[in-house]
Each structure stands twice: as structure tokens, then as C-alpha cells.
Amino acid sequence: MVIASIVIFIVFTALCIYCLLSKPKKTMKSKEVDQIKANQMAEDEEDDFEKIDLKIWKKIIKIIIKDKKLIIQMMIAVILLAVNDLVYPLLNRYALEHYFNEQPDFGTKWLFIGMYAFLAIALGITVWSFIRAASIVEESTTIEIRKQAFDKLQRLSFSYYDTNSSGWIMARMTSDARKLASIISWGIVDLLWGFVLMIGILIVSFIINWRLALLLLALVPVFLLLTLYFRKKILREYRGVRKINSEITAAFNESFMGSNASKTLVLEAKNEKEFDVTIAKMKKRSIQAAIFSSIFWPTILVLGYFGVAVVAVEGGKMVIGDELKLIITTGTLYLFLDYAMRFFDPVMSIARIISDFQQAQASAERVISLIETVPDVIDTPEVIEKYGDVYHPKMENWEELEGEIEFQQVSFKYKGTDKYVLKDFNLKIEKGQVVAFVGETGSGKSTIINLISRFYEPSEGSILIDGKDYKERSVGWLHHHLGYVLQTPHLFSGNILENVRYGRLDATDEEVKQVCQIVNAHEFIEKLPQGYLTDIGEGGNKLSIGQKQLLSFARALLANPKILILDEATSSIDTENEKMIQDAIGVVLKGRTSLMVAHRLSTVVNADKIVVLREGKILEIGTHFELLHKKGYYFNLYKNQFLQEFEQKSINSI
């Protein structure tokens, strides 16, 4: 019987292995298709199973585990828990052997009860301590991952933000951080518990009866492979379901956003028909997935009980003690039955964690890649030595910045591309000058701004500030003297005071109010319910764009920068607010080198110098009127805009 059952299991195991091994063949064929799909999947961040690479895990653990003691504490608690789970069936066996038979002997009853009570308390304590320890590990890992990633993000240069969407970066800080923290805490807990309990059951079994123990051992690969196989299969099935589900959500979204279009185009019936097809597809796919997921647990159960039945028969024989003369008690038999019935628990938990690790590996790789990214714009060690770094600036060594900027033979191309956005560019901006850059999208005007701000550095040539290559001084030094106003003003959650103060963190309330008055923002702020302490909502959403823009001017003004950059700062302002903004600009520009990029030409007319750009080269340069008289590119651009704006303004001004 034993031999027969072992043979069956071996055959079955072989089958399972065959199934698993034959799998890669299929994926090889469809690899190209998968590649294409992978691109689409990227945004859904559904990770497939990877072969476990211990190096990656070693690295990530090295990066994020600061306190090894915690992990050790957690491990000890879990091992104790597994031992506990192992011991108490032994206690039951003792009771069966000593009390529940023909000749009971109750002499040890108090000791037995005491032992049991001790075990109960021990269980309580181990459960408490392992959950506690694992939670601490989980939280401290999340904190650490987020902290290091955030720290890196502050240091990373602009090229990083260009190539990685904010959604992608967010996902590293959220889902990846969570996934990794959970697998490093609870994953290790489950794995260790499963492993210790499994080995423990096997050892105890071997000591008491090796033949029954062998039987249990034969079950291990079966459960392991079966669980791994089903988990992959089920996860992949549900991935398909989730994909359709996101289609459905998208359909809902489109239907709500486009309800006017649907009504006026009379598309309701058509929409409904299409939607019905999608949800029917969803139903079909889900039911298909349901078949798989429903078959898994019963299969494990039936197999498990096949083992239980064999143990019962073999154990029964031993109790009766016929041919083999291996006599065991019914208590021992029950112990085996008990072990056999709970054996699939630890084995399955091992399998589950293995597949979790396979899945989470991609998260680990991504987090490592983020944390190990080297910023493109970094100061040399000598510069850091003198001027300090981002977090520890040595302001005492900083020179004053005057505001003279000079481009010397500057060429620039984005990393990984061959096309120059800017080629052999030369331009000198005097201290205190207002210079505007005009041109189509892609003409290079934003690149110039980014180069001056040292968000990027020239590929060739150099930029001098006050006559000295700006790489010879720190990024922090430059940024400290820089003010920046964007097209879409970016404000932070919090109140107005905090937001304006962002320009200079040590400014007093009075100073904040002063700059608000200068840019004409004071009036509307005072009208708000809590004045300067009014919460402006996430991203300042409770304010109008014009109001937000005024605040961003105030913020820039507070910084009292030597160089001020206005990046399309007026293009999203409606005509009503334009006057106020124009006035604010006038105030803000005074006494500093100012650079603006503008779509709306009405803002640039007063500039000292207008640089008209085309394909990275200077097309025209001069003052507003000089350029108008030239009757060239600028003339046409301005004329068209003037007439259009005039038309729009006139109808509302009557």
C-alpha cells in the first residue's frame, strides 16, 4: 500500500513537473506578442512571475533594513509559533494515551493541565509578538523605502522627470513600497512559519514512525508544485479579468464625461449596445477564471485527504499490529492524522510566498533603480566642499550673485537623442535686463530657460554667470538666487501664508503681507474667510487661476531673486485678470535680470530685448519696436495676435 501510494505520488509529481516545464515553450512562441502587450501593461503595473534572483533581494534588504535586530526578533517569534503549533498535538496525544484508554492513569493530570495552560499563554505571547514585530518591520521598511526614494527624488535632475511620468514615480512610492514592505515582513513570517512547521512535522514523524513520515514527505512536492501552478494560472486569469474591468471603468468615465456629446449626437443606444458587449465579455471571462480558481482548493483538499486516508489505513495496521509488528497507540495514530490533516497548510504557505517573491521581484528592481539613479546635474566634490550640498548648504561661502548671464557656444541635446535642440548658441544678458524669448513650440525657448536654471546642463559650451562658468558654483547657490513663475502656477496644500512663504522660508508674516500687497493680491486675500490663513485646498484648487498666479508672483517676489524666470506665466490668464497680472509683473521685474518665455506677446512688449527663436537658432533680436519695423517673423506673429485679442476684448468691453 505504501509503495503503491508513493508510486502514484511520484507519477503525479512527474506530471506536475512536466506541466510546469512545458509552460516556457508556450511563452517562447508568444514572446513577441507579449513584448507588445508588455508595453500596454506597463501602466497597469501587473508584474509577471520572475525567476527569483537572490542578489536583488540581498541588495534591497541591505538598502532598506537598517535594524537587523527587528528582523531577528520577528524570526524568533515566528519559529516559536511554529514550535507551538507542533507541540500541542503532542499534548493531545499524551492525553489520549494516558487518560482515554482502558486503564487510565490520572496521576499527571495537573501537570498536563498546567502544560496546556502554559502552551495557551505561550501561544498568545508568540502570536502577539510576531504580529507586533512583523508590523514594526513592515512599517519601518515602508518608511525607509519612501524616505530614500523621496530623498533621491529631491536630488534627481530634470531629465529624470522627463523620462518617467509622475504616475510611474508615484507607483514606486506607493504600491512598490507597500508590496516590498509586506513581503519582507509578512512574507518572511509566513515562509519561516511554513518551513519550520513542515520540517518539524516531518522530524517528529520520523522519530515516531519513519514509514508514515515518508508518506507525508511524498506529499510535499505535490502540494508545492500544484499550488505554484494554480497560483500562476489563477493570477493570469484574473489579470485578464482586471483588464476588461478597466475597460468598463473607462467606458463609465467616457459616458459621464461625454454625456452631452452622446445626447446631442443621439448615441445613447449605440453606447448601450457597445457597453453591453463589454460587460458580457467581462462576465464570460470572469466565469472562465472562476472555473480555475474554484477547482484549486477542492483539488488540494481531495489530495490532502488521500494522504489522510493512506495514513489512516497504514496507521490502523500498525495499531492492530499484524505483520509488521510495529505497534503504535491510537493516540499516535491521531497525532499522525492531525499532522496529515494540517500538513498542507505550511506547504501551501511556502508555495504562496515563493510565488509572491517572484511577483514582487520587479518591484524590488524598480525601487533599486530609483534609489541608485545618479542625477545628471551634480556638483563636483570640490564645489560641494566649498559650497555644500542640497541638504547642507554652506551659505557662508556663497558669493553674491549679480545677474549677468552669458551663453558661450552652447549646444544642447536631450540624453539618448541625436538631434540638437540648441546649436552653438551665443547670447549675453546684462545684469538687470528683461529678456523675452519668442518662438514656436520646439524652437528651443524652454530649453534656454532650463539651461539657465541649471535644470539641465549644456551638452557642449558653457554658461557663465557673472563671468564664471556656473558649474564652478553649486546648484544650490544658483537656485537660492532664482525665482520662478510657471504657466500653471503650482501651489501646495496648506494656507496662503505658507504658500507665499515658500519663496523664502524664514520670512516673517509681515514680509509675506508686504509682497502680497505689492502684487495686488492682498485685497482678494483679505476678502477670504480666514484671510492669509485660508486653506487653499490641494494644489490651490479653491482659488481661481488668476489668484493662484498672483500668489506665485508674490512667492517669487518674496524670494527676492537676482534672476527671475517667467515661464509662460501669462498664457492661461483670462482677460479680466490680465491687467492685474501685468501690473504685478511690472513690479516683480524691477531690479533683476528677468527672463520670460511668452506665447502672449502683449506681455513682452516692454522687454529690453526680444529674442525670436526658430529651430534652436536666433532668428531676430531686438526691442519690440525694432522688430516690428523689421516687418519680419515677429511682425506677423504680433499682428495676428493683436487682431485676434482685440476682437475678443472689444465685444466684452462695450
Partner 1 sequence: MKQNSKTGAKYILYLIGRFFPLLLLILVMSAIDSATYTYVSMFIKYIIAVLDNDIHATNNLSEFILNWFNLGQGMLDKVVYASIGLFLFQFIRGIFKFLMGFYRQFFGEVLAKKIRKDMYHHIQELPYSYHNNVDTGDLIQRCTTDNDTIRNCLCSQLPELVSIFAVLITAVFQMWKINRLLMLVSLIIVPIAAITSIIFCIYTEKKFEEIEKEESKLMSMIQENIAGVRVVKAFANEAFEKEKFEKQNLIYSTKNLHLNKVSAIFWGMSDASTLVQYLITMTTSIFLLINKPGIIRASDIVAIMMLLSSYIWPVRSLGRIVSDLGKCNVAAGRVKEILDLKSEYVMDSSFQPEIQGKIEFSNVSFQFDDTNQHLLTDLSFQIEPGETVAIIGKTGSGKSTIAKILTRLIEYQEGSILIDGHELKDIKKEYIRSKIGLILQEPFLFARTVYDNIRITNEMADPERITEVAKIASIEKDIRSFEKGYDTMVGEKGATLSGGQKQRLAIARMLLVDKPIYIFDDSLSAVDTETDLMIRQALKKHNQATTIIITHRITTAKQADKIIVLENGGVSAIGTHETLAQQEGLYQKLWNIQGKAEAEFMNILREGGAVDGHC
Structural contact between residues 536 and 494, judged by C-beta atoms closer than 8 angstroms: yes
Q: Tell me which of 10, 203, 280, 587 binds partner 1, using CB under 8 A.
A: 280
Q: Please name the amino acid found at residue 427.
A: L
Whole-angstrom distance, CA of residue 448 vs CA of residue 464: 13
Cβ at position 275, least distance to partner 1 in Å: 5
Total residues in contact with partner 1, by rule CB under 8 A:
148
Q: Is 513 exposed, middle or buried (0-12, 13-18, 19+ CB in 10 A)?
A: buried
Collapsed DSSP state (helix, strand, coil) of residue 345: helix
Q: Tell me which of 287, 327, 533, 587 binds partner 1, using CB under 8 A.
A: 287
Q: Tell me which of 265, 324, 374, 587 binds partner 1, using CB under 8 A.
A: 265
For the beta carbon of residue 93, count every other beta carbon within 10 angstroms. Answer: 20
Percentages (nearest 5) of helix, strand, coil residues in the chain: 70, 10, 20
Cβ at position 298, least distance to partner 1 in Å: 4
Q: Tell me which of 29, 283, 542, 579 binds partner 1, using CB under 8 A.
A: 283
Q: Tell me which of 309, 327, 374, 533 binds partner 1, using CB under 8 A.
A: 309
Give the interface segment with partner 1, choosing from 111-119, 221-229, 358-366, 526-534 (CB under 8 A). 111-119
Whole-angstrom distance, CA of residue 438 vs CA of residue 425: 15
Binding flag, residue 187, partner 1 (CB under 8 A) = no
Cβ at position 132, least distance to partner 1 in Å: 4
Structural contact between residues 209 and 326, judged by C-beta atoms closer than 8 angstroms: yes
> In the β-sheet with 460-465, what is the strand arrangement from edge to edge?
420-429, 405-413, 460-465, 468-469
Structural contact between residues 437 and 449, judged by C-beta atoms closer than 8 angstroms: yes
Binding flag, residue 173, partner 1 (CB under 8 A) = yes
- Per DSSP, what are the bridge partners of residue 486? 567
Give the interface segment with partner 1, choosing from 226-234, 301-309, 346-354, 588-596 (CB under 8 A). 301-309
Q: Tell me which of 42, 175, 203, 492 binds partner 1, using CB under 8 A.
A: 492
Binding flag, residue 63, partner 1 (CB under 8 A) = no
Binding flag, residue 95, partner 1 (CB under 8 A) = yes
DSSP state letters, 529-562: TTGGG-B--GGGTTS-HHHHHHHHHHHHHHH--S
Instruction: Name the helix (H) or strand (E) containing 409.
Output: strand 405-413
Cβ at position 30, least distance to partner 1 in Å: 23
Closest CA to 595 of 610, 578, 614: 610
Pick between residue 315 and residue 616 the one whose CB is nearest to partner 1: 315
Binding flag, residue 652, partner 1 (CB under 8 A) = yes
- Which residues have a Cβ under 8 Å from the Cβ of 372 and sit 6 or more positions away? none
Pick between residue 331 and residue 439 the one whose CB is nearest to partner 1: 331
Whole-angstrom distance, CA of residue 359 vs CA of residue 458: 41
Binding flag, residue 132, partner 1 (CB under 8 A) = yes
Give the interface segment with partner 1, choosing from 226-234, 507-515, 587-595, 637-645 (CB under 8 A). 637-645
Pick between residue 14 and residue 120 the one whose CB is nearest to partner 1: 120
Whole-angstrom distance, CA of residue 364 vs CA of residue 182: 12
Binding flag, residue 374, partner 1 (CB under 8 A) = no
Q: Tell me which of 22, 35, 39, 260 binds partner 1, using CB under 8 A.
A: 260
Pick between residue 303 and residue 528 the one whose CB is nearest to partner 1: 303
Pick between residue 56 and residue 149 the one whose CB is nearest to partner 1: 149
Binding flag, residue 372, partner 1 (CB under 8 A) = no
Closest CA to 45 of 199, 142, 178, 229: 178
Whole-angstrom distance, CA of residue 598 vs CA of residue 602: 9
Binding flag, residue 582, partner 1 (CB under 8 A) = no
Binding flag, residue 375, partner 1 (CB under 8 A) = no
Scan residues 450-479 and list those touching partner 1 (CB under 8 A).
453, 455, 476, 479
Q: What's the per-residue H, E or C state across 34-97?
A: HHHHHHHHHHHCCCCCCCCCHHHHHHHHHHHCCCHHHHHHHHHHHHHHHHHHHHHHHHHHHHHH
Cβ at position 642, least distance to partner 1 in Å: 5
Q: Tell me which of 129, 459, 462, 560 binds partner 1, using CB under 8 A.
A: 129
Scan residues 337-356 and list those touching partner 1 (CB under 8 A).
337
Binding flag, residue 15, partner 1 (CB under 8 A) = no
Whole-angstrom distance, CA of residue 319 vs CA of residue 331: 10
- Using DSSP, how many helices (H) and how many strands (E) does the chain show? 24, 10
- Which residues have a Cβ under 8 Å from the Cβ of 32 and sit 6 or more positions away? none
Binding flag, residue 99, partner 1 (CB under 8 A) = yes
Cβ at position 162, least distance to partner 1 in Å: 10
Whole-angstrom distance, CA of residue 5 vs CA of residue 311: 10
Scan residues 517-546 and list those touching partner 1 (CB under 8 A).
538-539
Give the interface segment with partner 1, choosing from 126-134, 350-358, 404-412, 612-620 (CB under 8 A). 126-134
Binding flag, residue 267, partner 1 (CB under 8 A) = yes
- Which residues have a Cβ under 8 Å from the Cβ of 108 and sit 6 or more positions away? 98
Structural contact between residues 77 and 133, judged by C-beta atoms closer than 8 angstroms: yes
Binding flag, residue 10, partner 1 (CB under 8 A) = no
Q: Tell me which of 88, 206, 524, 633 binds partner 1, using CB under 8 A.
A: 88
Q: Tell me which of 312, 528, 621, 637 binds partner 1, using CB under 8 A.
A: 312
Q: Tell me which of 18, 100, 203, 636 binds partner 1, using CB under 8 A.
A: 100
Binding flag, residue 621, partner 1 (CB under 8 A) = no
Cβ at position 392, least distance to partner 1 in Å: 8
Cβ at position 475, least distance to partner 1 in Å: 8
For 645, the grid coordinates are 485679442
Binding flag, residue 493, partner 1 (CB under 8 A) = yes
Binding flag, residue 250, partner 1 (CB under 8 A) = yes
Binding flag, residue 394, partner 1 (CB under 8 A) = no
Scan residues 398-427 and list those touching partner 1 (CB under 8 A).
none
- Chain centroid to CA 273: 37
**Please, how many CA atoms are within 13 Å of residue 525, restricted to the half-sphere of its CB?**
27
Q: Tell me which of 419, 505, 510, 529 binds partner 1, using CB under 8 A.
A: 505
Binding flag, residue 503, partner 1 (CB under 8 A) = yes
Scan residues 553-572 and list those touching partner 1 (CB under 8 A).
555, 559, 565, 567
